[in-house]
Chains A and B, each alone.
Chain A
Amino acid sequence: MAVIGHFALQGVQMMLVLLLAPLLTGFVRKMKARLLRRQGPPLFQPYRDLIRLMRKEVVLAENASWLFRFTPYFVFATTWIAASLVPTFQSGLLFSWSADLIALIALLGSARFFLALAGLDVGTSFGGIGSSREVMIASLAEPAMLMIVFTLALIVGSTQLSTMSAFMNSPAVGLRVSLGLGLIALVIVAIAENARIPVDNPATHLELTMVHEAMVLEYSGRHLALIELSAYLKLLLYVSLIACLFAPWGISATTVEPKTFVIGLAAYAVKLAAMSTFLAMFETAVAKMRVFRVPEFLGAALMMGLLATLLRFVSGSF
C-alpha cells in the first residue's frame, strides 16, 4: 500500500512539472508584457502553441538524419526526468535517489549535447552558430554549476537533493557567506542555461546574437513542440531548484498527509509566482549582452562558486 502511495506521489510530481511548465513560461511572458504596459498574450498561450505545433506536420530538411528526429524525444525525456527529480512540494520521493544533483546536471548536459548536435545536423550556418555558442556558454556554466553543487554539498554533507532541501529547511543552516555566493552564482547559471536576457533572448529570431533559437531553427511541428516544452521544463526545473535549495519552506519530508500536501503545493505555487515575477522584472530592467561579454558574466559565477567552495574547505564556519 505504502509503495503504491509513493508511486502515486512520484506520478503526481511528474505530471505536475509537465503541466505546470508551460504555465510558468506564460506567466513570465504575461508579467513582462504588463511591465512594458502591453496587454500581452493570454496566460495559457504556451499550451495553445504546443497543441497547435503538435497537430502540424513536420517539415524535415532534405539531408536531416535520424539524429535530428531522435533529438527532440531524447531532449524531452532527459529534461522531464531531471525536472521530476527536483523536489517541488514534497521531498524524498520514490525515485529521488536514482540521480543526485551532480547526475541531474549531467542529465541536462546530455540533453544539451544532442541539441547542439542537432544544430549541426542539417548543415546550415545558423545551426552551427547556435551550437558553437551554446557549447561555449555551457563550458563555463556547467563547471560553475558544479562548483555551486560542491559548496552546497560541503555544507550539507550530501549531494542528494532531498537531503539538501531538508537540511536547508532546518535551523542548522544559518546565514553563511558561501551560501550567498552560491545563490548569486546559481541565479547567473540559471539565466544562462535558460537562454534568458542578458545572455540570450528567448523572444527573438533573425538576430545574430541568438543562441538557443538559432540552434533549433530547423525544427518544426511536433519536434519543435517537444523542444519548446523541454525549454519550459528546464525553466521550471531551475526555478524549482533555487526554490528547494534557498527557499525550502513548506516542502514536506516524507509523510503523506492531505494537510502537508496542500501546504506544500500552495507554497510551491507562491514560490513560482514570486520568482517568475522577479525574473520578469530583471529581464525588463537589463539589456542583452554582446555574446563575448557572456564569458565574463559566467566567469564571475564560476569564480564565485570556486570561492565559496574554497571558503568551505578552509573553514566549516563560512
Chain B
Amino acid sequence: MPGVALSLVGILLAAAAIAIPTSGTRMARPLVYGICLATTLCLMTVAATALIGKSATPSSLALPAGLPQLGAHFRIDALSAFFLFVVNLGAAAASLFAIGYGRHEETPERVLPFYPAYLAGMKLVVLADDAFVFLVAWEFMSLTSWALVIANHKESDNLRAGYIYLLMASFGTLALLLAFGLLAGAEGNYTFAVIRSAPPSAGIAALILILAIIGTGSKAGLVPLHAWLPLAHPAAPSHVSALMSGVMTKVAVYGFIRIVFEMLGPPGWWWSVVVLVCGGATATMGVLYALMQRDLKRVLAYSTIENIGIIFSALGLSLAFKSEGLASIAALALTAGLFHIFNHSLFKSLLFFGSGAVLNATGERDMEKLGGLIHSMPQTAFVFLVGCMAISALPPLNGFVSEWLAFQAILLSPQLPLWSLKLIIPAVGALLALSAALAAACFVRAFGITFLGRARTPAASRAQETDRFSLTAMLILAALCLVAGILPGVFIDLLAATVQFLVGGRMPPQTGIEWLSIIPIAEGRSSYNGLLVFLFMIISGTLAAIAIHRLASDKVRRGPAWDCGYPDPSPLTQYSAASFGQPIRRVFGTIVFRAQEVGEMPPPASTAPARLTVKLSDLIWDTFYAPISGGITFAAEQLNRLQFLTIRRYLTLVFAALVFLLLVLAIWQ
C-alpha cells in the first residue's frame, strides 16, 4: 500500500520536473493540474481503501534512501490513511479549481513547478515513518509553499509575508527537530516504530509536548504563533491559499496527533490543560481578528485560526479523557476533532475558491470595494453562501455536527476528577460557544458585504461569472458539506478505525440507527438527525410557499428601495465592512485590540468634513513579536560596529577570543 502511494507521489514530483521547462506554454497548465488531479484522486482511493477495507492493519515500507544507517521508512495506518484522505480530497478539489483559475495567472512559471512539489511534500509528511523523512518532507512542504506565497513577488506585502513565513516555518521545524531528537533518545533511533515502542519518561515527555505544540502549532496557526498565517495564506494564489488553509494546517495537526497521541505514551494530567487553553484562546482570538479585517482572503485566514482553535480544543478534551482512562468519551471528543478537521478542509477550501473567483472577476480582495456580486456571479454566490453557512456551524450543514459533538463531549466532562479541568473546561466551552456565534457574525459580514447590496466600485459592477472548472470544484465541495451535514453517521463510522487506533475506544456504530440519526451516548441523552431537519425545512418552507401563492397573493412589483423614505442613490451610503463590524468592535475590541475611536467634528458653519479615526493595536504582535524583532535589530546595530575596526583591533579580538576559549576549556576540565 505505501508503495503505491509513494509511486503516485513520485508522479507528482515528475510533474513538477516537467513543469519547469514547459510552464511557459499554453498546454502546461491543464497538463500539470490534470496530472495532479488524477494522482490525488488515485491517492484518495488508496487512503479510502486503507480506511474502510480489511487492510486497516498498518502496512509499512522501507527504502534504501535517506540517511545511511537509517533508510527511509513509510507507513500507512489508520491515522495516516485518514489524513491522506483529507489532504488528497482538498488537493484534488484545488487542482480541479486551478485548471480554470490558473488561466488568469500572470506568471505561471512561478506557480506550476512548485504546485505539484508542494502536494508531494504534504503527502510525504503524512506517509513518513521515521523522523528524518518526516522532517525533510515537512521542510520541503514549507519551502515549496513559501515559493508559492511569493509567486506574486512584485507586491511588497507578499515579500514581507514570505519573509515572516520563512522565519516562522524554520522556527517551527527547529522545535520539531528538537522534539524528535528527544524522542529518539541517546541511541538515536529515528524510526517511528522504535520511538513508539519506547515512550519517554514523564519529564522528557513534558518537554517534547511543549516542543510539539510549538512546532506543529506554529504551522497550524495556534495563538500566539499565528502571526505569519494571515499574511502568508492570502498572499498565495487562491487555490494555494485553499491548500495552505484547508489542508496544510491539517498536516500540522497530523504531526501533533502523531507525536502526542501516539509516541508520548500515556498522557499526563496537565497536558490537556495546556492544549485546551491554547485551543480556546486561539478560537476566540482568531474569530475576533477575522471580524476586524476588510480583506476577504485575510478574513478567511483568520477564520482558519479560529477553526484550528476548535480542533485543538477537541483534541485537548480527548487527551483529558484519555489520561483518565475514559476511552469511550475520549473517542467522542476525538471524533469531534477529526470530523471538524474533515469539515474545515471542505468549507475552507470552498470559501478560498470563492474568494479566488471574486478576485479574478473583479481584481479586488478588499470587501469595501465589492458588493452586489450575487447578481453578476449567482452560482459563485450560492456556493459561497453554503460555505459560509457550514463554517458558521448552522444546521443542516456539516460544521454544526462537529461542534455539536464537541459540546456533547464537554457536557460529559464533570466526570473528570481534576480541579483544574473542572474550571477550564466550562471556560473553554463558553469560548467555543462565543466563537461559534462570532463566526456567524463574521460570515454574515463577509458574505453580505461582498455579495449583497449594491456594487461599490465599477470593477465590482463589471464582474462576470467564473469558469466551469472552478464552479464544478466549488459545487462538489458544497455538495459534500451538505452530505456530511445530513448523513453525519456515515462519516463518524468512517472515523472509527482512526479513533480506535489513537484512544483505544470508539463511538457506538451510527449507521444502523433508525432514521439515520446520530446518538453519541444514549438516545435519552442526546441525538441529532440532520436528514430529518433538512427534510422538515424543505417540506415546511415549500408548503408555506405553495399555500400562500395559491390562497393569498403571488403578485410581485419591482420598485425603488423604501429605506424609510430616504433612499440614497450612492452605493457608498450602504453599510460597509468596517461599519458592520463596529458594534462588535465596541463590545469586544476595547479589551482585545485596545480599540480607540476618535471623532473629530468641525465647528459649526465650517465646511470641513467630520472625521472618525479608529486605532486598533495587535496585542500579540506588540507583546511577543515586536520586542523580539526590536532586540534583534538592536543587537545587529551594536554588532555592526565590528565591521569598521582597524586591523590591530581585529587581531586583538581574535587573540582575546582565543584566550577566552582556552580558559573555558581549562575550567571545563
Interface residues of A (CB under 8 A from B): 51, 54-63, 65-67, 73-74, 76-78, 80-81, 95, 97-100, 102-103, 106-107, 109-110, 112-113, 116-117, 119-129, 131-133, 135-136, 138-143, 146-147, 150, 153-154, 157-160, 163, 205-206, 217-218, 220-222, 225-226, 291-292, 295, 302, 305-306, 309-310, 312-314, 316
Interface size on B, residues (CB 8 A): 89
Closest 8 CB pairs of A and B: A128-B575, A123-B453, A57-B555, A120-B448, A77-B541, A54-B552, A136-B583, A143-B433
Counting CB contacts under 8 A, is B527 at the interface? yes
Pairs across A and B, CB under 8 Å, 5 listed: A109-B394, A142-B433, A206-B564, A222-B552, A313-B413
Known contacts: A76-B544, A123-B571, A150-B410. The answer to whether A139 contacts B561 by CB under 8 A is: no
Say whether B574 contacts A125, CB under 8 Å: yes
Docked-complex contact B579 and A132, CB < 8 angstroms: yes
Residue from A132, A157, A309 in contact with B581 in the complex, judged by beta carbons closer than 8 Å: A132
Taking the closest CB of chain A, its distance from the CB of B556, in whole angstroms, is: 5
CB-defined contacts of B374 to chain A, threshold 8 Å: 65-67, 121
Chain A proximity of B429: nearest CB distance (Å) = 6
Choose from A62, A126, A132, A292 the contact partner of B558 (Cβ within 8 Å): A62
Is B635 interfacial (CB-CB < 8 Å)?
Answer: no
Contacts A57-B557, A136-B587 supplied; 19 other A-B pairs, CB < 8 Å? A54-B548, A59-B557, A60-B556, A61-B561, A63-B561, A81-B533, A98-B536, A102-B407, A103-B395, A106-B404, A109-B393, A117-B452, A122-B561, A132-B579, A150-B429, A160-B523, A222-B552, A292-B587, A313-B423
Residues of A within 8 A of B441 (CB): 135-136, 138-139
Set of chain B residues within 8 Å of A81, measured between Cβ atoms: 533, 536-537, 540
B394, B545, B575 — most chain A CB neighbours (10 Å): B575
Shortest beta-carbon distance from B487 to chain A in Å? 14
Separation of A310 and B421 alpha carbons in the complex (Å): 11
B423 pairs with A310, CB closer than 8 A: yes
Binary interface profile of B, 226-249, with partner A (CB < 8 Å = 1, else 0)? Answer: 000000000000000000000000
Residue of A nearest to B576 (CB): A128
Beta-carbon contact of B540 and A146 below 8 Å:
no
Supposing A106-B394, A154-B414, A159-B408 touch, asked if A67 and B557 sit within 8 A by C-beta, the answer is no
- Chain A residues with CB under 8 Å of B541's CB are 73-74, 76-77
**Does B562 contact A302, Cβ atoms closer than 8 Å?**
no
B553 touches A113 (CB 8 A): no
Contact of A62 among B393, B449, B561, B580 (CB under 8 A): B561
Contact partners of A139 in chain B: CB under 8 A: 434, 437-438, 440-441, 584, 587
Least Cβ distance of B518 to chain A in Å?
11
Closest to B522 in A: A158
Tell whether A62 pairs with B584 under 8 Å between CB atoms, given A99-B529, A139-B434, A160-B525.
no
Chain B positions within 8 Å of A132 at CB level: 445, 575, 579-584
Inter-subunit contact B553/A121 (CB<8 Å): no
Residues of B within 8 A of A302 (CB): 430
* B573 contacts partner chain A, Cβ-Cβ < 8 Å: yes
Residue of A nearest to B438 (CB): A139
Residues of B within 8 A of A206 (CB): 564
Query: Smallest CB–CB gap between A200 and chain B, Å?
Result: 13
Determine whether the beta carbon of B447 is less than 8 Å from that of A131: no
Residues on B with beta carbons closer than 8 Å to the beta carbon of A67: 374, 385, 452
Residues of B568-610 at the interface with A, using a CB-CB cut-off of 8 Å, are 568, 571, 573-575, 579-584, 586-587
Q: Would you call B548 and A125 a contact (CB within 8 A)?
A: no
B466 within 8 A of partner (CB): no
Contact of B433 among A54, A78, A146, A312 (CB under 8 A): A146
Inside 8 A of A147's CB, which chain B residues have their CB? 429-430, 433
> In the complex, A141→B523 CA distance in Å?
28
Most chain B beta-carbon neighbours within 10 Å: one of A63, A109, A306, A314: A63
Say whether chain A's binding surface is mostly helix, strand, loop, or mixed.
helix
Q: Which residues of A contact B444 (CB under 8 A)?
A: 113, 116-117, 120, 131, 135
**Is B559 an interface residue, CB under 8 A from the partner?**
yes
Query: Once the chains bind, are A126 and B564 in contact (CB under 8 Å)?
Result: yes
Q: At the interface, yes or no: B347 with Cβ under 8 Å from chain A?
A: no
Residues of the A chain whose Cβ atoms lie less than 8 Å from the Cβ of B433 = 142-143, 146-147
Once A98-B533, A292-B586 are accepted as A-B contacts, the answer to whether A158 and B426 lie under 8 Å apart by CB is: no
Please determine whether A143 and B395 come into contact, CB atoms closer than 8 angstroms.
Answer: no
B468 at the interface (CB under 8 A from A): no
Q: A65-B375, A135-B441, A135-B584 are in contact. Are A100 and B527 (CB under 8 A)?
A: yes
User: Once the chains are docked, how many angstroms separate the CA of A63 from the CA of B568?
Assistant: 14
Query: Which B residues are in CB contact (< 8 Å) with A205?
Result: 564
Question: Does A217 contact B527, Cβ atoms closer than 8 Å?
Answer: no
A120, A122, A309: which contacts B429 (Cβ < 8 A)? Answer: A309
Contact across chains for B563 and A217 when beta carbons are under 8 A apart: yes
> What's the Cα separation between A135 and B558 when bound, in Å?
29
B425 — which chain A residues lie within 8 A by C-beta?
Answer: 313
CB of B524 within 8 A of CB of A160, answer yes
**B395 close to A107 (CB less than 8 A):** yes
For A129, A291, A309, which residue has the most chain B Cβ atoms within 10 angstroms? A309
Of A100, A124, A154, A221, the residue contacting B526 (CB under 8 A) is A100
Chain A residues with CB under 8 A of B410: 150
Among A106, A128, A222, the residue within 8 A (CB) of B393 is A106
B359 at the interface (CB under 8 A from A): no
Whether A57 and B553, one on each chain, are in contact in the complex, defined by CB atoms closer than 8 angstroms, is yes
Q: Is B422 an interface residue (CB 8 A)?
A: yes
Q: B583: which A residues are within 8 A, CB to CB?
A: 132-133, 135-136, 291-292
Which residues of chain B are near A56, meaning CB under 8 Å?
553
B372 at the binding interface (Cβ < 8 Å): yes
CB neighbours of A106 from chain B (8 A): 393-395, 400, 404
A312:B414 contact, CB within 8 angstroms = yes
Of all chain A residues, which has the CB nearest B404? A102
A150 to B541, CA, bound (A): 31
B358-400, CB < 8 A from A = 371-372, 374-375, 378, 385, 389, 392-395, 400
CA distance A130 to B356 in the complex (A): 30
Q: Is there an interface contact between A309 and B556, defined as CB atoms closer than 8 Å?
A: no
Q: How far is the CA of A137 from the CA of B269 in the complex (A)?
A: 38
Contacts A57-B556, A123-B371, A226-B544; A310 near B563 (Cβ below 8 A): no
Interface members, chain B 112-155 (any A CB < 8 Å): none
Contact B436 A159 (CB under 8 A): no
| A95 CB to nearest B CB, Å | 6
Pick from A62, A126, A131, A150: contact of B559, CB under 8 Å: A62
